[in-house]
Homo-oligomer: A and B are copies of this chain.
Amino acid sequence: MTTDVTDRTQRVDAQRNRAAIIDAALACLSANPRASMAEIARAAGVGRVTLYGHFSSRRELVEAASVQAIGRAEVQLAPLDLDGDPREALRLLVTTSWRLVDDFQGLIGAAEQELGADRVREHHDETMLRVRRLMERGQASGQFRSDQSADWLTACFFAILHGAATEIRLGRLGEDEADRLLPDTIQALVSVPA
């Protein structure tokens, strides 16, 4: 789904503004899912009319910001080598993922509000699939518990990350602590019970 970056009749300043708006939307909506279009425009250093020139509705902007967020996440996640020992791979995935969840939690809220939870899942799909595949592989190799479905383990994975991000946001948990706790907690989640 590569968009035509070089639209023949689009000026570079327009492209730059468009990018600035998406970035601003990402930042604003992450901080506050209910940020208004005016706020986002101001944060982008652009007039409100200009914003509507690029995105004809709030929904469209949220959509674009979501795509951007997923893109950034993929940049971090794609290069990870998850083919080794499933336990090690999972720890690696956790330590990389939780910051992303922390960063984009607000945006996800805005997107759920604006696009519906289904559409969000659709975007989130590839990211979630990566986790689920790892869960399945760990189950197949007998290192992860198989008495619970990979779907459920995946849901728990995100639930814990989401919870940690919330705790951090409330100032009840430090980032360093999260870094230390999360891998062990997730490990416990998937381990074969005694």
Q: Does A35 contact B (CB under 8 A)?
A: no
A187:B191 contact, CB within 8 angstroms? no
Number of interface residues of A (CB under 8 A): 31
CB within 8 A of A160: which of B121, B160, B166, B173? B160
Contact of B163 with A156 in the complex, beta carbons under 8 Å: yes
* Contact indicator per residue, chain A 170-186, by CB within 8 Å of chain B (1) or not (0): 10110001000100110
Q: Output the least CB separation between A11 and chain B (Å).
A: 40
- Residues in A lying within 8 Å of B, measured CB to CB: 117-118, 121, 145, 147-148, 151-152, 155-156, 158-160, 162-164, 166-167, 170, 172-173, 177, 181, 184-185, 187-189, 191, 193-194
